[in-house]
Amino acid sequence: MSKPTTFVEITMPQFAESLVSATIGKWLKQPGDPVEQYEPLCDVITDKVNAELPSTVEGVLREILVEAGETVDVGTVIAYVEVAGTGANTAPEVSSSTVASEEPVLQGDQSMRHRYSPAVQQLAGEHGVDLNQVIGTGLGGRITRKDVLQFVEQGQSAGKNTASEQAAPSNQGGSFNPVRHSGLHLSESPRIPKIEVEKQQTVGSNEYFIDVTPIRNTIARNMRQSVTEIPHAWTTIEVDVTNLVVLRNKYKDEFMRREGINLTYLAFLLKAVVNAIKDYPIINSVWAVDKIIVKKDINLSLAVGTEDSVLTPVIKKADTLNIAGLAREADRLAKATRAGTLKLDDLQGGTFTINNTGSFGSILSYPIINYPQAAILTFESIVKRPVVINDMIAIRSMANLCLSLDHRILDGVICGRFLQRVKENMESYDLDTKLY
């Protein structure tokens, strides 16, 4: 005699007090898939962070009520999970064909289902996959590379090619040659976006489509709000970081052995900025219409680029950390951002933003302020070039610092002094500087 079953509702949780809704980014499980307790069911996107929604129970995912790309209120039922129970319960009807039928049961909007990207078609051909049998998790039922790979891994492919299974993920995932650059502080090659595109179906068309993801839509909204509400101005200053280059070269190998992470120039910049904000606290403020709110805690937001977005995780109370502590925290947040494991708290409370634009060779930039902060600073590429010192020409390692400012709060005088103080702090590093 089989055990009776119970259907458990999976609801959209409240990730933070200020959040009242969230968007399903992508379903990681499909109807019929077994799930363990705390195993992620789907990616959830909010204005603050991407997060994985774990299952509250162990069982089998039976029905998805909210499709990828849809935004729902907190508390909305988004799926049902079937679990072994102790008694009969009334449950929504779920077709067993979801699991066993050769033809998958499709739910929700399927308008994009048969618009395959070249990458998907190539991958399906290599594995002998009939795309009509694959359930798409993209917007409008679109089939992604991950859907095809998951289909193959489940052993449902009509024909398996072991060699192509091993080669396809690396080829399609983007094996790129090292990027040539002039920056001296690039710790890794810049990540190249992997974008699924859809060709327009009209015969003879030379257009294609790129889906706007929920997180890209959030970035667009926040950037538009920043440039619309904040009167931007910007200024830049040149810094001689020759002594800093020597200092880092002295400690980087020892630091790697001791901490297991790279000692980047960014850590030294963070310390220089923290000390400058202490001298000019108005930089650490926000506009509140009838008042200016100056933040006592110095929480530095770091602009971290992923393959398809930019997030700004926060180093909390950066003024309490030494250079080594700042390096550890920056490394932790950068890795968590790229791995998609940031917590909501990691993105809240930032008071001033720093962007290491020099990591991809930029020498001058005009950054958009991270709303509602008062300013953002970019650290440009370190480049060796001739400069005049005491009427003599010398080869020095030089870098630019670019500051965008909210002209409602800050003016040229205060920002000029702030940048000058950052410059002094950067140029004051020498071989006697302590990391701890």
Active site residues: 407, 411
Tell the residue number behind the tokens 């009939």, with chain if given: 130
Long-range contacts of 24-28 (CB under 8 A, 24+ apart): 24/66, 24/67, 24/68, 24/69, 24/70, 24/71, 24/72, 24/78, 25/50, 25/68, 25/69, 25/213, 25/214, 25/215, 26/68, 26/137, 26/138, 27/64, 27/68, 27/137, 28/52
Residue 296: closest CA among 281, 318, 312, 275: 281
Number of H helices, E strands in the chain: 9, 21
The number of angstroms, rounded, from the C-alpha of 31 to the middle of its chain's C-alpha atoms is: 28
Continuous segment of H or E residues that includes residue 23: strand 21-27
* Cα separation values, 393 from 56, 238, 241, 388, Å: 67, 17, 16, 5
* Separation of alpha carbons 419 and 417, rounded Å: 5
Cα dihedral value 383, 386, 389, 392, nearest 10: 160
Q: Which two tokens stand for residue 286?
A: 């926000």
DSSP string for 259-274: HSS---HHHHHHHHHH
For the CA atoms of the chain, what is the radius of gyration?
26
E strand intervals along 304-363:
304-305, 310-311, 314-315, 352-355
C-alpha distance across the termini of the chain, in Å = 66
Q: How many CB atoms lie within 10 A of CB 24?
A: 24
* Three-point CA angle 132, 133, 134, nearest 5°: 95
Residue 391, by phi and psi: left (phi above 0), alpha (psi -120 to 50) or beta? left
**How many residues can be counted in the chain?**
436
